[in-house]
Amino acid sequence: MPLTPLRGIFAPVTTPFAGDDIDLSAFRRNARHYATTPLAGLVVLGSNGEAPSLDDDESDALIAAAREEYPTDKWLIAGTGRESVRMTVAACRRAAALGVDAVMVRTPGFFKTRITPESLLQYYTAVADASPAPVILYNITMFTGVNLLPETAAALSRHPNVIGIKDSGGDISVISELVAQCRPGFPVLAGATTMLYASLCVGGHGATVGPGAVAPEICAGVQEAFDRGDHPEARRLQALLVPIAKLVGPKWSVAGLKVAVDAYGLTGGPPRLPLLPVPAEGVRAIHEQVAVLNRSVARSP
């Protein structure tokens, strides 16, 4: 079956560890489960996959395992952003060789005071020129301290090897502007759960959000309801996602999503340092919310 268009809900996959090493068999089980959900695709080695904490061998092993477990008619996307063109292109090449459908390249961020629109334009052009896999731009200012402006993204959307953008900011007008300024039909994915529904209203194409990994039916349900014009139902499902979005977003971030993945019945496990595990009361709150979501799914027709 051919790959679907770049549209819908994509889940970031967390990386389970067994002691100091990655737990590949748990990772495979997780990936197999996601294949049975209404997700449009998976992102491995995203922020929620703790990509910055993994070495190249670990990264390659995870991509290879995901490719074996996940069906080829859905999107398998790998995060390959590094801090220089040389290192990013090397990661893109390895990911492409392992069979990903696209690479998601976050902005470099270390030299944040000197990363300008022009430097991002040159950077992404060089990466897209050299990457064998199609490139999805990835703007996540919260973690990088760098902002990829809609104007720059619009210019890059005309590059033949750039196929979409994920913007993780919380500003709905940025989604509007990306839709308005990028080439017509250019997929714009939101990264903030709390504005999933609003981003669809202003013309977005879907989202890559943590709750996709623990409530894929509800996330996908927001978009299905929107697509059939049922705004009240889309808003109702959207509202269900707000508490978990806070817990695995601003409140506990990656470590929280891993707890939610445990609660969902897959293997999340603890994060790597410098991330700390979620303390007991946080674990309790997350389990409660996942239970609420599970009941919502069970109840729906």
> For the purposes of burial, counting CB atoms within 10 Å of the CB of 243, is it exposed (0-12), middle (13-18) or buried (19 or more)?
middle
Q: Is residue 242 within the footprint of a second copy (CB under 8 A)?
A: yes
Cβ closer to a second copy: 101 or 177? 177
The yes or no reply on residue 295 touching a second copy (CB under 8 A) is no
Q: Strand pairing of 135-139 and 21-22?
A: unpaired
Residues 6+ positions from 295 with CB-CB distance below 8 Å: none
> Encoding tokens for residue 80?
């390959």
Range 113-132, binding a second copy (CB under 8 A) = 113-116, 118-120, 122-123, 126
Buried b (16+ CB within 10 A) or exposed e, 26-55: bbbebbeebeebebbbbbbbbbbbbbeebe
d(CA 89, CA 105): 10
Torsion sign, CA atoms 49, 51, 57, 63:
positive
Q: Distance (Å, rounded) from C-alpha 49 to C-alpha 34? A: 15
Nearest in space to 53 (alpha carbons), one of 270, 286, 201, 287: 270
Give me the 6-45 binding string for a second copy, x by CB under 8 A, dash otherwise: --------------x-------------------------
Tokens describing residue 22: 């990655």
Among 71, 86, 265, 300, binds a second copy (CB under 8 A): 86
Q: Greatest CA separation found in the chain?
A: 53
Q: Active site includes 112?
A: no
- Least distance in Å: CB of 255 to a second copy? 7
Position among 35, 239, 265, 300 found at the interface with a second copy (CB under 8 A): 239
In this complex, which beta carbon is closest to a second copy, that of residue 148 or of residue 263? 148
Q: Of the candidates 142, 149, 292, 297, which one interacts with a second copy according to CB under 8 A?
A: 142
d(CA 49, CA 250): 16
> Which range, of 7-15, 154-162, 252-260, 282-290, touches a second copy by CB under 8 A?
252-260
Nearer to a second copy, 20 or 281 (CB): 20
Does 152 interact with a second copy (rule: CB under 8 A)? Answer: no
Question: Nearer to a second copy by C-beta: 38 or 109?
Answer: 109
Q: Pick the catalytic residue: 74, 166, 246, 251?
A: 166
Of 5-13, 23-31, 157-165, 249-257: span binding a second copy (CB under 8 A)? 249-257
Select 18 or 180, whichever has its Cβ closest to a second copy.
Answer: 180
Residue 172 touching a second copy (CB under 8 A): yes
Minimum distance from CB of 204 to a second copy (Å)?
11
84 binds a second copy (CB under 8 A): yes
> Please, what is the minimum distance in Å from the beta carbon of residue 40 to a second copy?
22
How far apart CA 19 and CA 241 sit, in angstroms, is 32
- Torsion-angle region of 221 (φ positive above 0: left; ψ -120 to 50: alpha; else: beta): alpha
| Contact predicate 16/28, CB 8 Å | no
* DSSP class of 149: -
Q: Which residues are known to be catalytic? A: 166
Which residues make up the interface to a second copy (CB under 8 A)?
Answer: 20, 47, 50, 52-55, 83-87, 90, 107-116, 118-120, 122-123, 126, 142-145, 170-173, 176-177, 180, 192, 194-195, 197-198, 201-203, 231, 235, 238-239, 242, 250, 252-255, 272-276
